[in-house]
Structure 1
């Protein structure tokens, strides 16, 4: 039986989802996982980790069976990983201030760029009307740099308002989340300049940004357990933009009714990861509370919630057709060094998605 269709009886349209049949990836990293990225061409999953390595796993989408396919290293923790559109190469960036490119066929990696401070996020993009390929990297040195993968000198460097915390791209949209709640939007038809600079709609530090598959907006998550739905077009934003609470827990001595009236009795947890379904355009949020949920932004509703796991969820990703949802368990340092412990789990799990979890519900007439 395919693990994609082996749902537990507890997983119903109205009730919470089940993780009982989720597959554990073999030979996980030795330290917390910072980023996950699926190949856009086949079921290969790249995982970046604090252990200075990027691992690439090959996954059988029918059985969930998996094995290591490749591995390459940085000189310090790796913070971000992404694939080229043709699925032949992986780009990564980390605390060693390097941007690296790994060729899956030759199993060789090379440094293609560098910053003056740790590289927090990398993406592969296509720029301008001619779709010129480039790697873009964002750093704590407050710059964004584009690389053509063949030259050690950046094509363009953009000065940002603050350190880069998160970044994502889709179509011709690139969105960078910086410190002090600064959000920078770039139109990749004109990649050398900032299209729009604004403050996050959320009140606290930006933790995660993910662009819609259509490239017309993005979701932003923060450390206070909230998510903002944003559109690039001002009219769309006025009509469809909103923010909502997620990844909150009720206090131990409170009831649901008191939570609604006294917000201080709920505990907020950072939203560590947001991923959009490549087919349906719905999305996931995952957080320090060890839970993940699937949402429909157009209907403004939660599609499915899942039970709390035994550790923070640090990264997530959908595969190319959205049939597999990968999530990483590990310590996210949200509780400081005191919250870490030797037996804290470091795992990558594979959840086979079902339509009643990730597909938009039919609108009521």
Structure 2
């Protein structure tokens, strides 16, 4: 591990499921299988100060921020989405703002031209849209199978479901499926992430592969897939657990069950940097809004099932100061 990486103090007591930085401050939210959401302030020195914590009744599976960063939303295995108001954190209380019939796997805040909406995607095979304060959804999308991953860059919403289906929604018509297709990867989808420009998305699978996909048919000649997160001899293959885009450079990171992180430039199809953390699986990651801090978790990622959970699992969250070499695009080769 890079000696310069800072360890977040007072981490969760069970596996980390999700990380998300505030869109306008160095405040990190963390969701965990210990049923809690924790919020930390990251000082300029790299030290972290635990600020708030609130609970679900089951593991937390996803978190996201409102655009103005005043609210944090979380979805859990208790079938509920909750909202925490950082401007008015009364006794660390949160409010339930959404409900599904099965666990909520993904929550995403959507900033539309007419205001903010919360999208929740669930194992009950639906995406629901919520206007905060209204107990009934303002719209519902029926998915072909249960949802595994979802990302939004307005007006693009991409959802990945079981059976390798990818659903694309144009949020100007939020309850209509714009396109449904099969993943270009042959194994189960683990994560989907939209390009910052909103013109495409990346897909990661359990079988150590990433696919870069453009939405417009005229751009689809640029689509490609590649192998990653494998042992040097190629015999050991690991899940790609998370894909995180750098908002300013359009480059991205992948993290895997093999305990490594790679930074990539899709336009020149190059790996910019590989970090060998090698302390166990890396389930999730996040860039801060400036793109200068990269947070990653170290904890069991359930990729080998419940029975393979280590007897004394490691649970850490690390903060890595990014360098230009890792996140800046390379000029194309002549």
TM-score normalised by L of structure 2: 0.97
1:63-212 equivalent positions in 2, closer than 5 A: 63-107=45-89, 108-127=93-112, 130-212=113-195
Rounded Cα–Cα distance in structure 1 between residues aligned with 2:230 and 2:184: 18
Q: Distance in 2 between matches of 1:81 and 1:105?
A: 17
In structure 2, the gaps of 5 or more residues are none
Give CA deviations for 1:241-274 in whole Å, capped at 9, x if unaligned.
10000001145xxxxxxx5xxxxxx211000000
Aligned counterpart, 1:336:
305
Match of 1:299 in 2: 268
How far does the alpha carbon of each residue in 1:331-351 deviate from its partner, in whole angstroms, 9 at most, with x for none?
A: 011122332123221010000
Q: How far apart are 1:126 and its partner, in Å?
A: 2.3
Aligned pairs, number: 331
Counterpart residue number, 2:14? 31
Q: How far apart in 1 are the matches of 2:214 and 2:2?
A: 32
SS in 2 for 1:357: helix
Instruction: Write the distance in 2 (CA, Å) between the matches of 1:244 and 1:122.
Output: 28
Following TM superposition, by how much is the alpha carbon of 1:163 offset from its aligned partner in structure 2, in angstroms?
Answer: 0.2
CA distance in 2, matches of 1:220, 1:285: 10
Q: Determine the C-alpha separation between the residues in 1 that align with 2:173 and 2:111.
A: 11
How far apart in 2 are the matches of 1:55 and 1:237?
Answer: 40
Matched position secondary structure for 1:248: coil
> 2:251, 2:152 → 1: CA distance?
16
Q: 2:237 maps to which residue?
A: 268
Q: Secondary structure at the match of 2:236?
A: strand
Cα distance in structure 1, aligned partners of 2:324 and 2:297: 22
Q: Please point out which of 284, 287, 291 is paired with 1:315.
A: 284
Residue-by-residue CA offset, 1:163-211 (whole Å, 9 max, x unaligned): 0001111131111110000111111111121111111110000001111
- Given that 1:171 and 1:214 are in contact with CA atoms closer than 8 Å, whether structure 2 keeps it comes out as no
1:246 is aligned to 2:228: yes
Distance in 2 separating the partners of 1:176 and 1:19 = 34
Segments of structure 1 that go 5 or more residues without pairing to the other structure are: 1-17, 252-258, 260-265
Report which of the two structures shows the higher radius of gyration computed on alpha carbons: 1
Tell whether the 8 Å contact from 2:259 to 2:278 is kept in structure 1 after alignment. Answer: yes
Alpha-carbon offset, residue 89 of structure 1: 0.4
